[in-house]
Amino acid sequence: MTRAWLGTLLLTASAVAYSSAGFYTRLIPVDAWTLLFWRGLFGGLFLAVVVGVQERGRFVQSFRAIGRDGLLIAVCSALATICFLTAMRLTSVADVMVIDAAIPFVTAAIAWVVLGERESARTLAATVAAFAGMAVMAGPAMLDGRIVGDLLAFAMAALMALVIVLIRRQRDINMVPAVCASALLCAALVLPFASPLGVTLAELGLLVLFGVTQFGLGLLLLAFGTPLVSATRGALIGVLQTPLATLWVWLAFAEQPAVLTLIGGAIVLAAVVADMAHSRP
């Protein structure tokens, strides 16, 4: 298996993990700040354990090694997380995930300027097709005027594009400590607005699952997979979470998507899968 295919598989798994966000935010009846706090804390602790296993005695040194780019990754990722979860509460899952489709375009532009990385015409065409699918999905929902949630989603997209490019630029440095720091930073930033002691034991159990399986695992796979593929392709694979997120909410909560959402989701899946199928094994 080539590095590119390994990266593709890791990023696909990351997209699957991230796609469960809508499911968890619907399932756990706590305010957004408390949700963000526990999610960041449990995700960060999970990633800290991973770093400890990876580095074995070099735990502190591994955090120092991430450098300025690693610190920027941590800050941007933490802010993107806050924007993302807050947007999920202020607008529909479909809106947030559709706007998420802007990430490959922003990533392509930043990667060209920062890395000199020019993407293949095929992957760019797949990115355009995926965005078109998102536009089909978003059409009816975005007419509802949920402007604040949508603006937060756009901020999330720009920040995550920068994170992807920075991880790609520092591909020879272990950036798991950086994403670990981002999760813990997120928890620290929202703590003044959260009510962490106001959750029940049942809710706390769900928050552990949320932090570990959605956030921590998603970040871990992102850190592992991003250095192995081009920045734009990595961002394109991440778009898979859009149709998957809608699917999980539909199956779990009977929030049946509109026909256009299903059509748009099919276009997104086809675009991403087609790009994967034509990449070299």
Determine the pLDDT at residue 281. 46
Question: What's the confidence (pLDDT) of residue 141?
Answer: 55
Q: Are residues 236 and 129 in contact, defined by beta-carbon separation less than 8 angstroms? A: no
Question: Nearest to residue 86, comparing CAs of 245, 194, 167?
Answer: 194
Region for 118 from its dihedrals, namely left if φ exceeds 0, alpha if ψ lies in -120 to 50, beta otherwise: beta
Give pLDDT, residue 258.
72
Rounded average pLDDT per 10-residue block, the chain, 281 residues: 84 92 86 92 96 89 93 94 79 70 80 78 79 71 65 86 91 92 95 94 95 95 92 85 80 74 79 72 46
- Give the side-chain half-sphere CA count within 13 A for 211: 27
Give me 39's structure tokens. 């999610």
Closest among 60, 142, 150 to 96, alpha carbons compared: 150
What pLDDT is recorded for position 153? Answer: 82
